[in-house]
């Protein structure tokens, strides 16, 4: 971690930025590009999430640029803890990763936006400004994945509505991580009946595994469940 940069005499209209990035050359380049741009100032930068968690509450930045792949704690967990401890902080994920899982984990953790590192400097600065002003900027390829996700959620909602009350019971117990035999005991049914119900559930939801079925259930259930048992395949 570099020593905190001088924050005195920074005009009130200047956007104060903190960077969390382990690659030295990327971090130093971001610092340089931000500091030479009018209206922006990088007030501190960190190599690890652990250092950032200690320093950011004191830094009081307007926006944090956060990498995902950090040594030790990753950037997603860092954002989750920052948001829990300093809810006013606004974080913009800046990463090379385009996988849907990382995108949505970041947004669920509290990231205000998600940009790829290949984003041009002018676009990055505009995104920082947008986050400061309450927006949620995303790279175009990321935005397409988000739109596709919500389309899928809409389809899932329609499909879950087609399940019978019994199938919904079975699906809820699947989502809790219960094994087939335990589900059968819970509902006083034979394991063959449970297997039949599960086949119907998979068919109606257009899924092929317990995991996919559970995701669709959790997306639309009013109560979010956390699996607490090891499940049979």
pLDDT by residue (tens digit) across 36-47? 999 999 999 999
Residue 89: name the closest of 123, 52, 122 by CA: 52
Burial of residue 63, with CB atoms counted within 10 A of its CB: 0-12 exposed, 13-18 middle, 19 or more buried? buried
Q: What is the pTM of this model?
A: 0.63
Could you state, in order of their start, the residue ranges of all structural domains in the chain?
15-139, 162-220
H-helix or E-strand spanning residue 195? helix 191-205
Torsion of CA 224, 180, 152, 123, to 10 degrees: 60
CATH topology of domain 15-139: Rossmann fold (3.40.50)
Q: What is the pLDDT of residue 229?
A: 38
| pLDDT: which is higher, 85 or 5 | 85
Burial of residue 67, with CB atoms counted within 10 A of its CB: 0-12 exposed, 13-18 middle, 19 or more buried? buried
Q: What is the pLDDT of residue 96?
A: 92
pLDDT by residue (tens digit) across 161-201? 788 899 988 888 877 767 788 899 999 999 899 989 988 88
Domain 162-220 bears CATH identifier 1.10.10.10: yes
């Amino acid at each position: 971690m570099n020593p905190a940069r001088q924050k005195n005499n920074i005009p009130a209209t200047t956007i104060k930025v903190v960077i969390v990035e382990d690659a030295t050359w990327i971090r130093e380049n971001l610092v340089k590009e931000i500091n030479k741009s009018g209206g922006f100032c990088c007030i501190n930068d960190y190599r690890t999430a652990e250092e950032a968690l200690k320093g950011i509450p004191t830094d009081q930045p307007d926006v944090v640029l956060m990498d995902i792949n950090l040594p030790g704690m990753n950037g997603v967990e860092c954002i989750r803890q920052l948001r829990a401890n300093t809810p006013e902080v606004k974080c913009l994920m800046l990463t090379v990763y385009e996988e849907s899982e990382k995108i949505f984990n970041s947004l669920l953790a509290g990231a205000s936006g998600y940009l790829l590192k290949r984003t041009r400097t002018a676009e990055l600065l505009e995104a920082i400004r947008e986050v400061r002003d309450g927006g949620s900027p995303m790279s175009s390829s990321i935005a397409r994945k988000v739109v596709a996700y919500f389309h899928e959620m809409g389809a899932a909602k329609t499909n879950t509505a087609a399940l019978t009350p019994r199938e919904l019971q079975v699906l809820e117990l699947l989502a809790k991580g219960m094994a087939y035999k335990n589900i059968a005991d819970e509902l006083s049914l034979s394991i063959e009946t449970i297997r039949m119900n599960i086949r119907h559930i998979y068919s109606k939801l257009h899924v092929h595994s317990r995991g996919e079925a559970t995701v669709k259930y959790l997306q639309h259930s009013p109560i979010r469940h956390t699996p607490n048992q090891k499940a049979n395949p």
